[in-house]
Amino acid sequence: MYIYDEYDNSILRQRVAQFRDQTERFLAGSLPPEQFLPLRLQNGLYVQRLAPMLRINVPYGMLNSTQIRKLAHIARHYDKGYVHVSTRQNIQFNWPDLTEVPDILSELADVGMHGTQSSGNCIRNTTSDQFAGVAEDEIVDPRPYCEIIRQWSSFHPEFAFLPRKFKIAVTGSEKDRAAVQVHDIGLQIILKDSGEIGFKVYVGGGLGRTPVIGSVIREFLPEEDLLPYLEAILRVYNLSGRRDNKYKARIKILVRALTPEVFAQKVEAEWENTKDGYSKLTRAEIERAKSFFTEPAYETIDNAAAQAAVDAQAAESVAFSKWLQRNVRGHRVPGYAAVTLSLKPTGVAPGDITDSQLEIIANLADEFSFGEARTTHEQNIVLADVKKSDLFTLWQKSKAAGFATPNIGTITDIICCPGGDFCSLANAKSIPIAEAIQRQFDDLDYVYDLGDIDLNISGCMNACGHHHVGHIGILGVDKAGKEFYQVQLGGSASNDASLGDVLGPSFGAEVMPDVIQKLVNVYVENRTAEELFIDTYRRIGATPFKERVYAKAN
Amino acid sequence: MPKLIKDGAIIENTWELIAKPEGDAAEVAVPAGHVIVPLSVWIAQKAQLQTRNDVGVWLDSDEFAEDIGEEANRFPVIGVNFPGFMDGRAFSTARLLRERYGFTGEVRAVGNFIRDQLCYLRRCGVNAFAFANPEADLEVALKSLADFSEYYQASVDQPLPLFRRRA
């Protein structure tokens, strides 16, 4: 993974010093709250319902075991002993004390971590595929480009006060696992037959109050042109994005108002002025970035023999075989596998991890995966480089630590925002809804039979739980002070990105498990042998689902 | 006389900023001496004002560098206004004045920017800071200019991005 050099460290140290000064001025009353607000947000610090919330960047999801141990230490010493993995692959602390935040950031800087631009109207953490570098379907490893973007976007002087927040995602695989079409900028890496690498550029996607699927504004952007082109997009947005209404300030509104074609023309015109300037990437810089993401010291392994041994272990243990089936996936290197540690056991808020569990993850990473782990946008943790011969031992150890729930990709692997239990923006709770649905679907064989289903829950229309792109999406709404839940069907964040359709009137919390059960029953009754939930929904439409859920009892 | 920060020092502000007119920009009386006029006044009275060398212009946040464009270097000073400090358009405007239109005179931040933005503003080409708030402490504000000494991206004061300078 990328290792900070003296430049990165010096910039980060100066940032911590700057924020310490700002915090002290705020506490002393010389920095007014309205001025401190965007400054603290740009260091990851929110003021939430019960306490501040500190969001720490995990660039493109990569963590080493030293960093994970530091997160555990901070959770234990400055917080209440747990953290939350967010859908932007970030780590959130829920109970820090404002006066201690500069110390926390200083401790994080010791291990090359920070909360820089994890909130606020600026360029946020760049996200990517949690299987980057190991996926069998990968065309080009996206991480070097993510790191180049991280550096370019960090402390960018021109774009620290944008009309609204700004999110970039990069994918380099056939299957998009980074949801690039629902980002302000989505970059899909293209490898031409000639060997030339570049990007298909999506712009103006996003969820929230006005969900939009991004538009392609450039089919192929050569890799050297990445930064000047991004800068052109951001400049057009900074100068022309709406600032009169925060709900109309995202780039998606500008792109729609202008049309994607006109927006693209403006970007191209802006880029024309800068494309051959100093920000154009050099071959040396691209190679330097790539040099940090080279292969770890893989052993040469006879894959057939390793797989045969795993198969034999699986034949002995139904539980192990279930875990293999759902939580383990292929790896481009023979004899290796990528393992997802589930943070979704029933009864735990999706994405929450305790301090001691973090330390166990660090130990597992050291023992089984070259000391690295990744956060995922589905709020799980990945150990990407596990020898197949270690899988059984890893399974036993992760089971003991509570990470082996074999539910990855299933209806109980729910993406869920913190909701009304923690978030001051939320209209409704989301964690208890997730738990009630997990309890409804407690028969694993039945859950497996249902196949892959993305079920996403947001506690408000800001859509942190990505409900618009869930095959089943649930949105908490407030009606006259009471919490209700609206159901959407047919969303997808993958290559076939789509936004869910609202099924109809919302439901009370108590009936939600039953509602989801009925939707699933309609799927089971109508599916063909090969169809996933989303396929059946797309084929038969919403009507059969509506009829079942809203049928009058007779 | 009020003071401002220019080129890293606190100096007397010798320029008078003319407010945006509510009525006809052609009717605004532009006094003698160093004045920074709104863009609309410049456009309306260009015939008379262009003979003077003590007239600057200021751009509001919804006015663009290209509205001045190649004419930029006729002015000794161009102001970029912050109606509120969260309005970040002036960062781009300043950069464009410097990098696209080659403006070498004074780029002056005016209005409601805050001390904590000084370092970024300087990197975007702003070299003078006239706080609207008369109580702004310029001595402490000066310190913020040095918040960072190294940067990743290209900027006006360091056109080479770090990746071209890394050993």
Among A134, A197, A145, A137, which residue's Cα sits nearest to residue A168?
A: A145
Q: Where are the alpha helices (DSSP H) in A32-153?
A: 33-41, 65-78, 101-109, 143-153
Separation of alpha carbons B44 and A111, rounded Å: 58
Q: Are B161 and A279 an interchain contact pair (Cβ–Cβ within 8 Å)? A: yes
Residues 37-96 of B with CB under 8 A from A: 64, 85-89, 91-93, 95
Residue B59: what pLDDT?
Answer: 98
Q: Write a three-state SS string for A102-119.
A: HHHHHHHHCCCCCCCCCC
Q: Are A161 and B88 an interchain contact pair (Cβ–Cβ within 8 Å)? A: yes
Separation of alpha carbons A179 and A171, rounded Å: 8
Number of residues that make up chain A: 554
For B88-135, what is each residue's pLDDT tens digit? 999 999 999 999 999 999 999 999 999 999 999 999 999 999 999 988
Give the number of beta-carbon pairs within 8 Å between A and B.
103
Most B-contacting residue of A41, A153, A161 (CB-CB within 10 A), to test interface: A161
B130 min Cα distance to partner chain A (Å) = 18
Q: Does A235 touch chain B (CB under 8 A)?
A: yes
Separation of alpha carbons A375 and A132, rounded Å: 12
Asked if residue A264 lies in contact with residue A118, where contact means CB atoms within 8 angstroms, the answer is: no
Most B-contacting residue of A239, A240, A251, A290 (CB-CB within 10 A), to test interface: A239
Separation of alpha carbons A516 and A522, rounded Å: 10
A142 min Cα distance to partner chain B (Å) = 18
Separation of alpha carbons A302 and A293, rounded Å: 24
Separation of alpha carbons B86 and B71, rounded Å: 28
Asked if residue A321 lies in contact with residue A315, where contact means CB atoms within 8 angstroms, the answer is: yes
Q: Are A278 and B155 an interchain contact pair (Cβ–Cβ within 8 Å)? A: no
Separation of alpha carbons A169 and A541, rounded Å: 30
For A63-76, what is each residue's pLDDT tens digit? 999 999 999 999 99
| DSSP 8-class letter at A378 | T
Separation of alpha carbons B151 and A157, rounded Å: 9
Largest CA distance in chain B: 58
One-letter amino acid of A239: L
**Considering only CB atoms, which chain B residues are within 8 Å of A278?**
154, 159-161, 164
Asked if residue B129 lies in contact with residue B113, where contact means CB atoms within 8 angstroms, the answer is: yes
Residue A55: what pLDDT?
Answer: 97
Separation of alpha carbons A303 and A337, rounded Å: 10
Q: Are B121 and A278 an interchain contact pair (Cβ–Cβ within 8 Å)? A: no
Q: What percent of chain B has pLDDT over 70?
A: 100
Among A506, A507, A502, which residue's Cα sits nearest to residue A489?
A: A502
Other Cβ atoms less than 10 A from the Cβ of A299: the count is 10
Number of residues that make up chain B: 167
Which residue in chain B has the smallest CA separation from A152? B153
Q: Does A18 touch chain B (CB under 8 A)?
A: yes
Q: Does B153 touch chain A (CB under 8 A)?
A: yes
Separation of alpha carbons B136 and B123, rounded Å: 21
CA distances from A351 to A86, A286, A381, A449 (A): 7, 34, 9, 24
Exposure string for B85-121, b = 16+ CB within 10 A, e = fewer: bbbbbbbbbbbbbbbbbebebbbbbbbbbbbbbbbbb
Exposure string for A134-173, b = 16+ CB within 10 A, e = fewer: bbeebebbbbbbbbbbbbbbbbbbbbbbbbbbbbbbbbbb
Separation of alpha carbons A240 and A163, rounded Å: 9
**Considering only CB atoms, which chain B residues are within 8 Å of A31?**
116
Asked if residue B152 lies in contact with residue A150, where contact means CB atoms within 8 angstroms, the answer is: no
Separation of alpha carbons B137 and B84, rounded Å: 18
Asked if residue A54 lies in contact with residue A115, where contact means CB atoms within 8 angstroms, the answer is: yes
What is the radius of gyration, based on Cα positions, of chain A? 23
A434's CB contacts (< 8 A; 6+ apart) are: A349, A350, A414, A416, A457
Residue A508: what pLDDT?
Answer: 97
Asked if residue B144 lies in contact with residue B114, where contact means CB atoms within 8 angstroms, the answer is: no
Residue B141: what pLDDT?
Answer: 94
Q: Is ipTM over 0.85?
A: yes
Asked if residue A549 lies in contact with residue A503, where contact means CB atoms within 8 angstroms, the answer is: yes
Q: Which residues pair with B56 in a beta bridge?
A: B36
CA distances from A16 to A44, A100, A101, A505 (A): 12, 12, 10, 48
Separation of alpha carbons A203 and A168, rounded Å: 9
Q: Are A278 and B161 an interchain contact pair (Cβ–Cβ within 8 Å)? A: yes
Q: Does A156 touch chain B (CB under 8 A)?
A: yes
Separation of alpha carbons B132 and B128, rounded Å: 13
Q: Pick out chain A residues at pLDDT < 70.
A: 48-50, 553-554
Among A134, A132, A131, A173, which residue's Cα sits nearest to residue A332?
A: A134
For A319-350, what is each residue's pLDDT tens digit? 999 999 999 999 999 999 999 999 999 999 99
Q: A34: burial class by Cβ within 10 Å (0-12, 13-18, 19+)?
A: exposed
**Considering only CB atoms, which chain A residues are within 8 Å of B87?**
161, 243
Which residue in chain A has the smallest CA separation from B93? A239
**Considering only CB atoms, which chain B residues are within 8 Å of A15?**
148
- Rounded to 10°, the helix A226-240/A251-258 angle is 80
Asked if residue A374 lies in contact with residue A339, where contact means CB atoms within 8 angstroms, the answer is: no
Most A-contacting residue of B85, B107, B163, B165 (CB-CB within 10 A), to test interface: B163
**Given CA atoms A269, A188, A249, A37 in this order, what sign does their dihedral have?**
negative
Q: What is the dihedral of CA B144, B148, B154, B157, to 10 degrees?
A: 50
Residue A553: what pLDDT?
Answer: 57
